[in-house]
């Protein structure tokens, strides 16, 4: 895709490896944040938590940095070498602000997780994203 050309389906982006490599860790985390949010909301609806304020609170609790960091620990042992490299790159991203309720380490882990999910999503590896998400939500 060259400058001026547009994708036809943003639900299933088709980017080249070079295009994906050109996206910053923060850009990947931005995409991954949205992917994680959609998965968390779907998980909550599927588990009977789809009620007004309670649903919103439950979603916020799942997508906050502390929760993401804790859940990320569950998938680290099963990541491929390439996935680990993306995760490390995301963890080392230069973030300029950290939420008051999270430590810098937790925020780094959450950013790493989001970068990984963004990278996988943009590569079209939605089955892998789902597999990792399900592992994170177990127990």
Q: Catalytic residue numbers?
A: 33
Tokens representing 69 are: 């960091």
Which letter, b or e, does each residue of 80-102 get, where b requires 16 or more Cβ atoms within 10 Å of its Cβ? eeebeebbebbbebeeeebeeeb
Question: What is the Rg, in whole angstroms, of the alpha carbon atoms belonging to the chain?
Answer: 15
Residue 65 CA to residue 97 CA, distance in Å, equals 13
């Amino acid at each position: 895709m060259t400058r001026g050309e547009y994708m036809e389906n943003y639900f299933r982006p088709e980017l080249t490896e070079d295009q994906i490599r050109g996206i910053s860790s923060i850009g990947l985390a931005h995409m991954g944040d949205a992917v994680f949010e959609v998965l968390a909301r779907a998980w909550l609806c599927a588990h009977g938590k789809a009620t007004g304020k309670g649903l919103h609170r439950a979603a916020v609790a799942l997508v906050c940095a502390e929760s993401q960091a804790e859940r990320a620990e569950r998938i680290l042992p099963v990541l491929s070498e390439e996935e680990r490299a993306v995760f490390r790159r995301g963890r080392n991203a230069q973030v300029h602000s950290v939420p008051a309720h999270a430590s810098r380490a937790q925020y780094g882990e959450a950013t790493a997780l989001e970068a990984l999910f963004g990278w996988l999503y943009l590569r079209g590896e939605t089955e892998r994203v789902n597999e990792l998400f399900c592992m994170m939500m177990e127990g």
